Structure 1
Amino acid sequence: MLLVAFIDKTGTGLWTTASALYFTLVAGLSLTRVGLLLGLAGAVGVAGAPLAGHLADRFPLTRVLVGAQLLRAAALLALLTTDHYGLLLLFASVGALPDRGSNVLTKLYAARATGSQRVRYQAINRTVGNLGWAVGGLGAAGALTTGTAAAYQTLLIGNALSYAVIAALTLRCAEPPAPSHIVAGAARPPSGPAAPSPRATRSNPWRDRPFLLFTLTETVLYLDDTIIQVGMPLWIVHSTQAPAGLAPLVLVLNSVLVVLFQVPLSRFGTSSAAARNLLVPLACLFTGGCLALAASATGGSWTAVAALIAAAVALTFAEMVHAVASWELSVAIAAPDAQGTYLGVHGLAASAQRGAGPLLVTAVIATGPVAWPALGAGYAVVCLLQRRLVRDRLPEPALSVPPITVSEH
């Protein structure tokens, strides 16, 4: 599965950089229509996470993964067949569903196949994914120097082929047992969803208010990603005296730190209790990053550069710490008999943040330096709220899912 992650992100890195340019330069759409197309497709894609989780609870997980990967490939290749706006919107929207859903499916595979080692596995998976993004981005940069329609089409086909390759590789992976088959009859915490009897109704996350509140807090805690990817470049250019060339270097620094430290940090979240305790340093890191962003607008260029680098480091570590806590807690408090559905609902947090996050961050930038400490304080409150929410949902003993041995045949 790690090879699958590398190939997946390499192909995505090839296409993501060029996708908007493809729609303008090859399909001939205006900037306004491209923005509308990507926005509408993204809105449709939000449904991909819960849909994928629902299917994974009812069909073999590896087969659902293969179906998602092949659908991604087919939707991409369909873009080559037309320049009609309605059809382009349809194909982009269809492709967005499995694209968002595949993140939930790969997380679910890790949870089922690696047991108590799932956090470390996810950390390694994320590191491998970042390396794939870098390789794909370099390949795209080389192809885009030609600026021809053929170059853009080649990148699209390359991404589609990567999906076909990982579908073939996924077919060779063993099917991990669902947790309801492993922990049937095991007791859950009093306040959590009860493990069902064979005839009981399957647990429903949409009726599980504490889990929905947890997902809502997760939407806020994903903000670090938007601040690094969207907020910092805009803040650097419009609100500080730092050189504009620092903006791409911040993104490079983010990727390098993730590659170097995501796996080592995973050891601090190998149990549910440890993951819950990470919410305190997470609040401190994010608040510190926000204070550094505010300070970057109060001095000269050197002060701005130093403060911005400090902010980038703090927010990147916040991103990594949140990833570790989120991976463990979202699985630990999910009902075993509907794990896929629960993780699908949890996947809505990242999707919602991608839509609402840029609006909030740009509003903070427009308000000025004083808004950053306020945002940091609000984030810290949400961390503490989530810490309280999950307290009574964590199973005993601390390791929420016993190790699982996966058959090789």
Structure 2
Amino acid sequence: MRRAAAWSTRIPGGPDGRRMLWIALMDRIGSGLWASVSVLYFTYVTGLSVAQIGTLVAAAGAVGIAGAPLGGRIADRLPLTHVLIALQLLRALASFALLTTDNYALLLAFSAAGSFGDRAANVLTKLYATRVAGPDRVRYQAVNRTVANAGWALGGLVAAAALTIGTTAAYQWLLAGDAVSFVAVALATARCGEPPSATRTIATSKDPVPATRPASPWRDRTYLAYVATETVLFLDDAVFKVGLPLWIAHSDHAPHGLAPLLMVLNNVMVVTLQVPLARFGATTAAARALLMPLSAVFALGGAAMALSATGGVVAVTLFLTVAAAAFTVAEMLHATVSWELSVALAPETAQGTYLGVHGLAQAAQRSVGPLAVTAAIAAGPPGWTLFGTVIALTCVFQHRIVRDRLTRPALSVLPVTVSEH
């Protein structure tokens, strides 16, 4: 009992870990300011059409996909904090640059640069946590995710208040606030120490090292299969961003005001439950075992969505609430499993490169996710049942494919350190 209490209150990672939590808070507050108004900014301030905005968002997202693997590869060769600082400054410059023009080509280029920096920084922040928190990496990521969600909500509230003004200046100040947050994050990151890195120790060691071909996730069939299954398991994100709002909008009985309330429910559950739930996947073996209950929760979410097509207002509201709660629990459980397995399956000497490839799963989901949930909506209740079933079976498949790889010792503690001079 005493061990459980200590696990729930202690923040791993030492002083640098705590600094990175403040950095996550500042980062997400800034992102919350901009994410809530980006479409409105491009519509009312720069005067883009719906088609232009859609193309801009899609193109920037496509460029952002490259940020994860490239960022991870660079971080295996250069000091991680230096790369993170450069990426945050890139995001700041891209945001400031958007304020300077209404030229479509330039807006597209600046948005793409910001998207690249965002996806790369997201992967490298995870890599930093992996290195600084050691065996407590799952708990650290859980705390980090809780703080990030709180920051996102705070930024969104500030943006909502600013939107009541509705002037061009209000939109511009929100974008400027986003840019300033990245500058603050870069300055704060400069105060963080460089975490241990097996890759850079080997690269700088004076002792002779046998010439071996560096590990590559692109030649690792097990890891690539794992990343492919991850793309499916990340589909809960599309449920909240696209699936639930559209399903409610086309329902004859669901109150249309229910959609934002379910988003609030999602946010509150993540903030309050992510850390307690993370303790159930604190080791590699526990994380793999968690895939089986995760499978059941995904199936429950799909079934509840299907059942929400029946009954009156009360029944529909109840089933949609159950579905939202189930997909939120699935989101939190999968986050815990994903944080641990993505690192445990990677060699110590190529963690950045491997995590970069793992980052492709989330990026790919952003493209296929909306298509998957709209297909489920078009098919009606059977579509949602199939949607939940497919993800549930994917959990079972992932549980099987990682089994052999995880028979070797987990890579929770790096046995080496790096001295910077």
Letter in 2 for 1:33: Q
TM-score w.r.t. length of structure 2: 0.91
SS at match of 1:54: helix
Q: Does 1:299 align with 2:311?
A: yes
Q: C-alpha deviations, 1:128-154, integer Å up to 9, x for none? A: 001101110011011111111111110
1:402 Cα deviation after fit: 2.0
1:179 Cα deviation after fit: 3.4
Q: Does 1:391 align with 2:394?
A: no
The 5 A counterparts of 1:4-403 are 4-180=23-199, 198-394=210-406, 396-397=408-409, 399-402=410-413
Change in CA separation of 1:28 and 1:201 when aligned onto 2, cut-off 3 Å: same
Aligned to 1:193: none
Change in CA separation of 1:106 and 1:395 when aligned onto 2, cut-off 3 Å: farther
Distance between the aligned counterparts of 1:125 and 1:302, measured in 2? 36
Q: C-alpha deviations, 1:370-403, integer Å up to 9, x for none? A: 1111112211211111111111111544x53127
1:182 Cα deviation after fit: 7.7
Q: C-alpha deviations, 1:163-209, integer Å up to 9, x for none? A: 0001000010010011346899xxxxxxxxxxx95421211111111
Distance between the aligned counterparts of 2:98 and 2:325, measured in 1? 39
Distance between the aligned counterparts of 1:302 and 1:364, measured in 2? 23
Distance between the aligned counterparts of 1:287 and 1:325, measured in 2? 17
Distance between the aligned counterparts of 2:355 and 2:55, measured in 1? 29
Aligned length: 397
Identity %: 57
Distance between the aligned counterparts of 1:181 and 1:53, measured in 2? 13
SS at match of 2:405: coil
Change in CA separation of 1:301 and 1:370 when aligned onto 2, cut-off 3 Å: same
Distance between the aligned counterparts of 1:406 and 1:156, measured in 2? 40
Change in CA separation of 1:403 and 1:204 when aligned onto 2, cut-off 3 Å: closer
Change in CA separation of 1:142 and 1:68 when aligned onto 2, cut-off 3 Å: same
Distance between the aligned counterparts of 1:76 and 1:385, measured in 2? 41
Letter in 1 for 2:40: L
SS at match of 1:174: coil
Tell me if the contact between 1:113 and 1:406 (Cα under 8 Å) persists in the aligned partners: no
Tell me if the contact between 1:120 and 1:266 (Cα under 8 Å) persists in the aligned partners: yes
Distance between the aligned counterparts of 2:321 and 2:397, measured in 1? 29
Aligned to 1:187: none
SS at match of 2:402: helix
1:236 Cα deviation after fit: 1.3
Letter in 1 for 2:39: A
Aligned to 2:7: none
Distance between the aligned counterparts of 1:395 and 1:179, measured in 2? 21
Q: C-alpha deviations, 1:299-347, integer Å up to 9, x for none? A: 1110001101111111100000000000000000012111100000000
Change in CA separation of 1:25 and 1:258 when aligned onto 2, cut-off 3 Å: same
Change in CA separation of 1:300 and 1:405 when aligned onto 2, cut-off 3 Å: farther
Letter in 2 for 1:82: T
Question: Segments of 4+ in structure 1 off by > 3 A?
Answer: 179-184, 403-409
Letter in 1 for 2:413: P
Tell me if the contact between 1:68 and 1:101 (Cα under 8 Å) persists in the aligned partners: yes
**Structure 1 gap segments, 5+ residues each:** 185-195
1:233 Cα deviation after fit: 1.1
Segment drifting more, 351-360 vs 175-184 = 175-184
1:404 Cα deviation after fit: 7.3
Distance between the aligned counterparts of 1:287 and 1:197, measured in 2? 49
